Amino acid sequence: MNILSPSILAADFKNLGQQITDVDNAGAKYLHVDVMDGMFVPSISFGMPVIKSIRSISDIVFDVHLMIMDPIRYVKEFAEIGADIITFHLEAAEDPQAVIDRIHELGKKAGITIKPGTAVEELIPFLDSVDMILIMTVEPGFGGQAFIPESYDRIRSLRKMLNDRELSTDIEVDGGITIDNVKSVLDAGANVIVAGSAVFIGDAAGNTRELMKILNEG
């Protein structure tokens, strides 16, 4: 199944509640929540109080993308405030397996992600234990960047690595996804699609429906 995960980083924060309701009603199944610490990435986005506050708006799956150093420090807190999937960066964790295990102990789904410069082979030790793998298709840190074309090959090799192991793990993509390239990304083997600008710039409900149409055909 293909899933759309609108990234609220591109939302209009003075209308955040309404924007979440709009994408939820328009059929998005996940909500992508980008947490940045100003260390792992240059920007700082938002943290616990915001997530806690928006949790009450809807039952939509909170797909939390941690762009923070040493993520194990905060896994419990994100679980407690309502994250459903917690994805952390391989590059930011001293012991990635420990982070995965901690997320599972807390009863949540664990995702692992890599930046565009990290080899997909580095994921091999964790393929068996994660619920989702996020291939960053831009350098993490900012919304509105252009999709890196080399990502197609990375998605294809990861899907092959999973198929070879008879795993049907979700592959998420994040960064620069548009109405024009989403079909190619699905064809390459991704099935969870993050979209920030492509959803929230303009009519969020309408953009969600347009993207969902392509996801449902793919």
- Give the footprint of ligand DX5 on residues 16-35 (CB under 6 A): 32, 34
Neighbours of 34 (CB within 10 A): 24
Binding residues for ligand DX5, rule CB under 6 A, total 22
Residues engaged in binding Zn ion (CB under 5 A): 34, 65, 174
Element spanning 161, H or E = helix 151-164
DSSP lists the bridge partners of residue 174 as: 136
Q: At closest approach, how far in Å is the CB of 132 from Zn ion?
A: 12
Interface residue with ligand DX5, options 58, 118, 129, 145 (CB under 6 A) = 145
Interface residue with ligand DX5, options 2, 3, 4, 7 (CB under 6 A) = 7
Residue tagged active-site, from 34, 37, 63, 170: 34
**Tokens matching residue 78:** 């994100």
Q: Which does 93 bind (CB under 5 to 8 A by kind): Zn ion, ligand DX5, none?
A: none
**Per-residue burial over 82-104, b = 16 or more CB atoms within 10 Å of its CB, e = otherwise:** bbbbbbbbbebbeebeebbebbe
Residue whose Cβ sits closest to ligand DX5: 196
Neighbours of 77 (CB within 10 A): 13
Q: Which does 212 bind (CB under 5 to 8 A by kind): Zn ion, ligand DX5, none?
A: none
E strands in the chain: 3-6, 30-36, 61-67, 85-89, 109-114, 132-136, 170-174, 192-195
- Give the footprint of ligand DX5 on residues 148-207 (CB under 6 A): 174-177, 194-198
174 as an active site residue: the answer is yes
Q: Which does 193 bind (CB under 5 to 8 A by kind): ligand DX5, Zn ion, none?
A: none
34 as an active site residue: the answer is yes
Among residues 140, 147, 205, which one has the least CA distance to residue 180?
147
State the Cα–Cα distance between residues 112 and 107, nearest whole angstrom: 16
Active site (catalytic) residues: 34, 174
| Footprint on this chain of ligand DX5 (rule: CB under 6 A) | 7, 9-10, 32, 34, 65, 138, 140-145, 174-177, 194-198
